[in-house]
């Protein structure tokens, strides 16, 4: 079984993924894959061509993507419309190819797979999933978490949210919704409820 896991920034998707991993699922972390691209020569070259030298810096004697500078180009005060789509056009084909390779590896050993992807629907990865799970949380909670985690302003957080699928979309398009609005024990119980349904073959 292939399960797509997505959610709004700051909703707690990574925590849900950890609970699912503890339940025996094989996790494919698309954010993790994305970070490995930061030093990939061809990807770095494409980012530099698309966004300029400002999006690149040197570390350890080689070029790598400057995530902070790129984030400003995508969501900062002077962000240009279309930059997010430009980045996705570069990164998605590479990430999707790596996801397919990991799925092949996991299913070879009979493992059920979780594709942990913030852009599950935007990338089209939802189309290869048997089930999709969306994680949502109250706006105020998400803003606080994102600002603390990434060291960004509330305005930048809100701009990121504007580029993401909202609660209404996730409720309409995901097989299951997990509301993360209480403590970790409640969240774990809600995740367990879904894994039990999946184990029974329910959708």
| Residue 189: inside a domain | yes
Q: How many domains does the chain have?
A: 1
**Residue 184 included in any domain:** yes
158 assigned to some structural domain: yes
Please report which helix (H) or strand (E) contains residue 135, including its range. strand 131-136
CB atoms within 10 A of CB 153: 14
- Residue-wise pLDDT for 6-33, tens only, equals 998 889 999 999 999 999 999 999 999 9
Please say if the pLDDT value at position 35 is more than 80.
Answer: yes
What's phi and psi for 123, nearest 5 deg?
A: -85, -15
In order of 26, 161, 203, the CA distances from 197 in angstroms are 17, 30, 7
Lowest-confidence pick of 1-5, 60-64, 171-175: 60-64
Q: Is residue 125 part of a domain?
A: yes
Decide if 129 is inside a domain: yes
Q: Is residue 103, in this structure, part of any structural domain at all? A: yes
pLDDT in tens, 62-116: 999 999 999 999 988 888 889 999 999 999 999 999 999 999 999 888 889 999 9
Domain limits for position 146: 2-37+96-199
- Smallest Cα–Cα separation from 170: which of 178, 182, 162? 178
Kindly report the CATH number assigned to the domain that includes residue 111: 3.40.50.300
pTM: 0.87
Domain contains 88: no
Q: Is residue 145 part of a domain?
A: yes
Confidence of residue 50 (pLDDT cuts 50, 70, 90): very high
């Amino acid at each position: 079984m292939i399960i797509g896991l997505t959610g709004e920034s700051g909703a707690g998707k990574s925590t849900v993924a950890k609970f699912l991993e503890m339940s025996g699922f094989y996790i494919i972390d698309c954010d993790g894959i994305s970070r490995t691209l930061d030093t990939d020569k061809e990807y770095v070259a494409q980012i530099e061509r698309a966004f300029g030298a400002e999006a690149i810096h040197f570390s350890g004697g080689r070029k790598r993507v400057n995530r902070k500078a790129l984030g400003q180009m995508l969501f900062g005060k002077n962000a240009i419309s279309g930059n997010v789509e430009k980045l996705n056009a570069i990164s998605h084909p590479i990430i999707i190819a790596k996801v397919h390779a990991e799925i092949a590896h996991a299913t070879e050993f009979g493992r059920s797979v979780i594709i942990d992807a913030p852009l599950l629907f935007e990338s089209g990865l939802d189309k290869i999933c048997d089930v999709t799970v969306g994680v949502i949380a109250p706006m105020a909670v998400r803003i606080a978490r994102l600002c603390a985690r990434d060291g960004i302003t509330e305005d930048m957080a809100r701009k990121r949210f504007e580029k993401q699928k909202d609660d209404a979309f996730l409720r309409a398009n995901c097989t299951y919704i997990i509301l993360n609005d209480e403590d970790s024990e409640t969240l774990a119980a809600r995740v367990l409820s879904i894994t039990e349904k999946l184990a029974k073959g329910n959708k």
